[in-house]
Chains A and B, each alone.
Chain A
Amino acid sequence: MTDLAATDPLPKPKRDIAPILLPIALALVTIPLIGSPSTWLTLTAASLAMGMMIFIMASGLTLVFGLMDVLNFGHGAFIAVGAYIATLVFAPFAASVQADSLWVNLAALAPAALLSMAVSGALGLVVERVLILPVYGQHLKQILMTTGGLIVAEQTLYALWGPQIIPMPLPTSLRGSFIFGDVAIAKYRVLATLIGLAVFIAIQLVLNRTKLGLLIRAGVENREMVEALGYRIRRLFLGVFMTGSALAGLGGVMWALYREQVHASMSDELTVLIFVVVIIGGLGSIGGCFIGAILVAMVANYGGFLVPKLALVSNILLMVAILMWRPRGLYAVTSR
């Protein structure tokens, strides 16, 4: 080891870029397979949008696990709750949703998204206090408790809103597509991609540029050490849990708009997808979660186009392949 003077900058940690290249490589490999460049562009745009939405929903789960070793099987409930709350806001704002102006539409979307995030976040507080705190540090009971929470949340949604599928039409100005030559990219997908990127950048900035983020990252690596330094990691965890729940709520609104319908069973369907993403990315890693989400979406879109029959098991195959390559996910950040 060479000696470092105190004034020397710290040595840069090695960047692991292989996972980042993976989705790019996947995208490039599929160009000749799909054949038509315009179809490929449309599919890629769809994958990006879908990936961003999944990332928003999954980011909270991966951080919660990384920070506190808590596996929340009820994460899907926040997604469904967020979507249902948005329908409440959409009803009185029906006129502005139907209006043919982007700004009026966004003025209706913004309160819906914000309220959904607030309610999901508040629900996160309750869930953390009531369900997770009593079984802290016991994986088996955490899984059982949060699964129970998922059942209760889903059934409550059915009891309050009824078992039918609730339609959730896209605002008028977000319908249709941008047409460039013979490439069509749905407008809503562009918006979803932008929101997803914004969330990703915001999370990265908070984690890497603030003291709060420093503490969270330190907690992911070694919880006891952060506690020993005098920080109340429980409170930090509660904050992360609520933020994660709120993001799941936002993701729920976006997913509902993407599918243009709301149903409590969406939480089951998405839970599986999110778990696959979180496992692929490596539990606790935001970057891995981001890449994992895009990979899952790409495999779903390209796979659905090329080999429709394969789309059913494509996620599992992707997961198996990634875990064969890196048994702890793309980025293994925790020592667990």
Chain B
Amino acid sequence: MMILSGDPPRSRVLTLVLVVIILALAATPFLFPGAKALNVAAKICVFAALVASYDLLLGYTGSVSFAHTMFYGIGSYAIAIALYGMGPNWAAVATGIVVGLPLAALLALAIGLFSLRVAAIFFAMITLAVASAFQVLASQLSWLTGGEDGRSFQLPELLRPGTVLISKDLFGFEINGRILTFYLVFAISALMILALLRVVNSPFGRVLQAIRENRFRAEALGFRTVFHLSYANCLAALVAAGAGILNALWLRYAGPDTSLSFSIMLDILLMVVIGGMGTIYGAIIGATIFILAQNYLQSLMGVASKAASEAGLPLLPGLLHPDRWLLWLGLLFIASVYFFPTGVVGRLRNGGGGKSAGASH
């Protein structure tokens, strides 16, 4: 279990669910034809990595940050602006990565050092304020970011859908640039999640958990808590920016709605809480449940809303309208914080007879 850093799922059901999800994601191009299924699968990969990086903050250090989409957005915009400005070549991809990742880490360091220096409770509020300022900034600097329209760009030749790598008559499936991009997204997301698993199971990760449980005591044991928290903040920002890069590469677009908006922040919060805080695996489960619901439940709600309005019921059509699905997720969110704060993973671990999820609190 080297690859899982000695932290296996610790529950038979959970292992099964994870294996099914990962196999289904890996086989999506062959199992589920059509662009929508592939889009959903890519989005699940990207968000699993993004949510896992948020879990490093929320679940392992216990600090609530509202600036996570900012780092995600920095990654997205860095690659988008580079490819838009320099044209579709690999040098532009490299430039985007080389500029985006350090920028995210530096900003995270600045926010961390500043807000962790003052009272820790300010962290959530300060990140919210900084993130909202950044969002306004990104939509105002339209010469650079394209404003509200965002930036669409072309991918390098190899990753374009038109590029046929292995023609259909060899395996019965056509492997084109689009599918290659999907596997790129899949592989890098998986690598980032495994890296995070490594981080949280290292001595450094143990210190983070100690800080979460009792910051004062951790400090008394001789750990420099501000250093550890800032470092965790930077790591989370790096992975978030990485996820942002993947997202932009997949969408061939970066804009405020897909990478910066506050609703994405709420989505991340929902995913991490539903999946299970402080487990990393919860990120995969949460992202899968949430994005499947987002893409398929909404059409179900549309049907229900139509049925309700045809039946002449008051109020229900409005409440069941597909745009209102966040209302039901919000209720689910409150219920899950209240009734099962350890999320799906915590439930499965406790119910599955394995070792108890010691991280719950």
Contact = CB atoms under 8 A, between A and B. Distances in A.
Interface of A: 71, 73, 131, 134-135, 139-141, 143-145, 147-149, 151-152, 155-156, 158-160, 162-163, 268, 271-272, 275-276, 278-279, 283, 309, 312-313, 315-316, 319-320, 323, 327-328, 336
A327 B117 contact: yes
A323 B323 contact: no
A110 B227 CA distance: 54
Contact of B337 (A141, A278, A320): A141
A135 B337 contact: yes
13 contacts: A135-B337, A135-B338, A140-B62, A148-B334, A151-B330, A159-B324, A268-B262, A272-B128, A276-B129, A313-B133, A315-B133, A316-B129, A316-B130
B125 interface: yes
A327 B62 CA distance: 22
B330 A148 contact: yes
Nearest to B273: A144
Interface of B: 58, 62, 64, 114, 117-119, 121-122, 124-126, 128-130, 132-133, 136-137, 140, 262, 266, 269, 273, 315, 318-319, 321, 323-324, 326-327, 329-331, 333-334, 337-338, 341
B318 A147 contact: no
A255 B15 CA distance: 52
A152 B341 CA distance: 19
Contacts of A147: 266, 269
Contacts of B118: 323, 327-328
A71 B327 contact: no
A135 B64 CA distance: 16
B140 A312 contact: yes
Contacts of A275: 125, 128-129
A135 B137 CA distance: 36
B114 A320 contact: yes
Nearest to A161: B318
A313 B135 CA distance: 10
Contacts of B124: 71, 73, 143
Contacts of A159: 315, 318-319, 321, 324, 327
A318 to B, nearest CB: 10
Identify which of A148, A149, A279 gathers the most chain B CB atoms within 10 Å of its CB. A148
Contacts of B130: 316
A65 to B, nearest CB: 8
A134 B324 contact: no
B60 to A, nearest CB: 12
B128 A152 contact: no
A151 B326 contact: yes
A160 B318 contact: yes
Identify which of B62, B132, B333 gathers the most chain A CB atoms within 10 Å of its CB. B132
Contacts of A336: 119, 121
Contacts of B119: 283, 327-328, 336
A148 B327 contact: no
A283 B121 contact: yes
